[in-house]
Amino acid sequence: MSAPAGVPATPVSVVGGAGGIAANREGIEHLAALHRRAAHTLGSDAFALLLEAERLGPFGGDPGAAGRTDLAGLATAHGTLERAIARLGRAAHLAEDLGTRLGNAAQGYPWGSDALDAGVLDTIRSLVGGATHALGSVHHGDTVAGLDPRSLDLLVTLVGVPQLTSLDATDDDGLGTAEPAGRAPVTPPRSLRDLVTGLGDVDRDGTPGGIDVRVLNGPDGRRHVVVDITGTRTWRRGGRNVADLGTNEHALLGDTTAYSQGVLAALRRAGVRRDDDVMLVGHSQGGLVAVTTARDAARTGEFRVTHVVTAGSPIGLTVGRLPASVRVLALENSADAVPRLDSAANPDRRNVTTVSSSHGAGSVGGNHGITTSYVAVATDAQHSESRSVRDFLASASGFFTATHGAQYRYRVERR
């Protein structure tokens, strides 16, 4: 789908998916080594031919050959040999040059996993202002340095300052449950914009751990299920509220969380069947939870999660663990710091497509917001002509063609 007439398409960057390169540092280094090896082989072959040409000379090394052999034929054969030597030499040079370039590129690809880049660090420092006493408020309130946790889910988790070293993510996160919170009318989505808009509707409700399960019925009788997973509500850690700092810590590392357990419990309560196709849609922390939930569902086979859509989520450390059967579309606003806070680029895989576009909302929270930024990013993705995006949408077509359905709301809690 192209942009509407008269509306200029916002430039997007697309990585991965059906049109991706599927490259990583190890792969680039291996490719560089192969080119260097090819250069060595080509060079050796060229040198061997050169020695053979010198041994034979223009008349096969026999001065009397001129009287016994067609001179024109010998000249042609010798010229062909010289051209072959020259071509092998050029090919060896090109292979060596490309191998060197690939090796150099591998040294800077991707970001180092042990440190944030300077731009992200500067953003973090400007947000927290280096205020130690502000960071200390993690355990005493729902704001840090005046930041709404729904705006910057992972800021404090990823700063890595000494004040947060006591937050140990190795402990068990508890058991997640799903409590019914009502039923609402459902309007089947027709586009990525509709998906993200629906996620924003759930987010505005403000319920900690609030999710909904939309069971959609298609014209062919098949059922497709969309689950909307909201993000962080508090900087506190522990207690019944799963939308907290503890979930961020665990989900960032790919651990099973009480939140992800609660999502699976909600699917059970909504009567989702093993043969229903399920799409998990999450914003920020909700995207992290969506990835781990999809992985756990694939491991047990209890539910068939076929698609995941994330908006503003740092999933670079975890999304690569999903099986190829789960298709992921990661939406990122290039003006939003949160998707980059894990300091890991999303992998370039056939089943992982990352779409980035720029929508500056004038504030850090606005750049990360669903309605202020990510509805627009979803619209950009929908209008993209990228093969990877088109392939993802085609694979997810059943989620956008439902005729009717039901929407069940749940509140996930930690026990």
Residues 28-71: tens digit of each pLDDT: 666 677 777 777 777 777 777 777 767 666 544 454 544 444 55
Model confidence, pTM: 0.70
Count CB neighbours of 385 within 10 A: 12
How high is the pLDDT of residue 60?
47
- Taking only the tens place, the pLDDT of each residue in 326-343 is 999 999 999 988 888 777
What is the helix, strand, coil percentage profile of the chain, to 5? 45, 15, 35
| CA separation, residue 305 to residues 66, 136, 312, 351, 395 (Å) | 79, 39, 20, 13, 13
User: At 368, which helix (H) or strand (E)?
Assistant: helix 364-368
**Which amino acid is residue 299, in one-letter code?**
R
Separation between Cα atoms, residue 395 and residue 407, nearest integer Å: 23
Mean pLDDT of 248-257: 87
**Which amino acid is residue 378, in one-letter code?**
A
Separation between Cα atoms, residue 142 and residue 365, nearest integer Å: 15
How high is the pLDDT of residue 94?
78
410, β-bridge pairs: 180, 211
- Taking only the tens place, the pLDDT of each residue in 141-184 is 454 444 455 444 444 444 433 333 344 445 678 899 999 999 98
CA dihedral over 192, 205, 175, 250, signed as positive or negative: positive
How high is the pLDDT of residue 90?
78
Instruction: Identify whether the C-beta of residue 324 lies closer than 8 Å to the C-beta of residue 351.
Output: yes
| Strands lying side by side in the sheet with 327-333 | 13-16, 352-357, 327-333, 304-311, 277-283, 223-229, 210-217, 404-414, 176-184
